[in-house]
A and B are shown apart, each in its own frame.
Chain A
């Protein structure tokens, strides 16, 4: 069974710090990886996707993928209180149209 594991948190970081969110996945056939942000009471929104080993940067966000270790992470630089949310990791196998989601990590950025 395909699984995506995330620490539920909460992860608490001070404003301005780097928040590091981690995710592991069980299916070695996974080829596409996504990070979604979900504010309390709201629906998830896609913030990053990554497909190749290494780093991918988009503004304050950096996604990191290590397929050998089956590990994907999301770094948020200069964290802001508005980044406080639950971050969902998802992995999708090649040829599949249904990603597997983790349960999410709650991030709290305190002033």
Chain B
């Protein structure tokens, strides 16, 4: 596609429910990242996928968070048993190749605003 597509754009969920957030990266981009941005806070790295390699999950804040990437393209971030502190904007980004972000930077999607009530 022309850009990084994320869905839904907004999600309101009740505490304790599970949610799934979707990211469709730019076609041909092998690297995919998930970040979280809370109000007034910086970008918090969550997880990184590069091609068919094992993902870097070092940023996931708890075992309630998981992500997968199917066929090297679309990714789903799942948050189980949501808590109020999970409320944030979840941003997906992709780049042509992970190591090339040292030269090219990312293209971000428009994000999913998650509100846990």
Contact = CB atoms under 8 A, between A and B. Distances in A.
A55 interface: no
Contacts of B110: 42-43
Query: In the complex, which of the residues A31, A34, A46, A97 has the most CB atoms of chain B within 10 Å of its own CB atom?
Result: A97
B42 A94 contact: no
Query: In the complex, which of the residues A46, A94, A104 has the most CB atoms of chain B within 10 Å of its own CB atom?
Result: A46
| Interface residues of chain B: helix, strand, loop or mixed (majority) | mixed
B106 A46 contact: yes
Given A42-B110, A43-B91, A44-B108, A94 B102 contact: yes
Interface string B1-43: 0000000000000000000000000000001010000001111
Nearest to B105: A46
B108 to A, nearest CB: 4
A98 B45 contact: yes
A32 B108 contact: no
Nearest to A95: B99
A84 interface: no
A87 interface: no
Contact of B109 (A32, A43, A51, A96): A43
B105 A97 contact: no
Given A43-B91, A97-B31, A98-B48, A51 B103 contact: yes
16 contacts: A34-B105, A36-B105, A43-B109, A44-B106, A44-B108, A46-B107, A51-B103, A88-B42, A88-B43, A92-B101, A97-B31, A97-B50, A97-B102, A98-B56, A98-B59, A101-B43
Given A45-B108, A49-B104, 11 more contacts: A32-B101, A42-B110, A44-B108, A49-B105, A51-B103, A92-B101, A95-B99, A98-B45, A98-B48, A102-B42, A104-B42
